[in-house]
Amino acid sequence: MNAAAVILKDVKVRFETTVLTFSCTVPAGEIVAVAGASGSGKSTLLNVVAGFEEPDEGEVRIFGDDMAGHLPAARPVSVIFQENNLFAHLDVATNVGFGISPSLRLRAADRKRIEEALARVGLAGFGKRLPPTLSGGERQRVALARALVRHRPLLLLDEPFAALDPGMRAEMRDLLADLHREESNTILMVTHHPDDVRLFSDSVLFLDKGRIAAHDPIDRFLERRDITAINRFLGHGTER
């Protein structure tokens, strides 16, 4: 598992008042927490990888391939956002079906895969329900089921548990960890929660003011005391 899942090389994204700069190499098969204060650039980094944001400069490679000009749908990624992952007027099975075929031309074997994915995330029998009738946690499970049927080797999660209570967060974390073991995929997950970092990740990309301030294996990251923003994030008081 030494190949790189993601390489960002001198990537620059310019907004009106800000320039964000990213360079990093994420090994395949890792769970990587993407952390940092609000406005530090976490979502932008994910959007650059997913293809929702084109960099002004630099190179984005996913499993070795240069992603320049590749639309999001053409990238080997699945993305789960904090919310609004689902079409509210379409039932759960149809929402998951989009992961298999955007035109929803689903064969019997596809419908079986949808049912299996729903069962895998604890939602057997939910296929005919509409998203507004589900709890926040159930909706995120549907989004996860849709990611599952896609079998993409890179899963990007932008604060996927933000709207969930602590018990549900822990459940979702466990479920993701199980799926990661089964699929051997690479996961980049934006989170504001130190617990997600401590309990879930192999390594941490820590952003500060639009650049990557630290990219460490989890043990090393938790021992750091040299960056104020990390101390603040980990609750290490005012020490520098």
Ligand X SMILES: Nc1ncnc2c1ncn2[C@@H]1O[C@H](COP(=O)(O)OP(=O)(O)OP(=O)(O)O)[C@@H](O)[C@H]1O
15 binds ligand X (CB under 6 A): yes
CB of 236 to ligand X, least distance (A): 20
DSSP 236: -
Give the range of 4-12, 37-45, 92-100, 143-151 binding ligand X by CB under 6 A: 37-45
Give the range of 41-49, 94-102, 130-138, 228-236 binding ligand X by CB under 6 A: 41-49
- Find out whether 23 and 10 touch, Cβ atoms under 8 Å: yes
Site for ligand X in 44-73 (CB under 6 A): 44
Count of residues touching ligand X (by CB under 6 A): 11
CB of 232 to ligand X, least distance (A): 14
CA distances from 145 to 86, 92, 168 (A): 11, 10, 16
- Find out whether 211 and 44 touch, Cβ atoms under 8 Å: no
Buried/exposed code over 105-121 (b: 16+ C-beta within 10 A; e: otherwise): ebeeebeebbbebbebb
Q: In what order do the strands lie in the sheet with 211-217?
A: 65-66, 57-62, 4-14, 19-27, 211-217, 203-208, 31-36, 186-190, 154-158, 77-80
Q: 129 or 209: whose CB is closer to ligand X?
A: 209
- Between CA 13 and CA 48 the distance in angstroms is 9
41 binds ligand X (CB under 6 A): yes
Q: 36 or 99: whose CB is closer to ligand X?
A: 36
- Between CA 37 and CA 137 the distance in angstroms is 25
When binding is defined by CB under 6 A, the residue of 1, 2, 38, 102 that contacts ligand X is 38
Give the range of 39-47, 118-126, 129-137, 223-231 binding ligand X by CB under 6 A: 39-47
232 binds ligand X (CB under 6 A): no
When binding is defined by CB under 6 A, the residue of 2, 16, 71, 109 that contacts ligand X is 16
Please report, as ranges, the residues that interact with ligand X according to CB under 6 A.
Answer: 15-16, 18, 36, 38-44
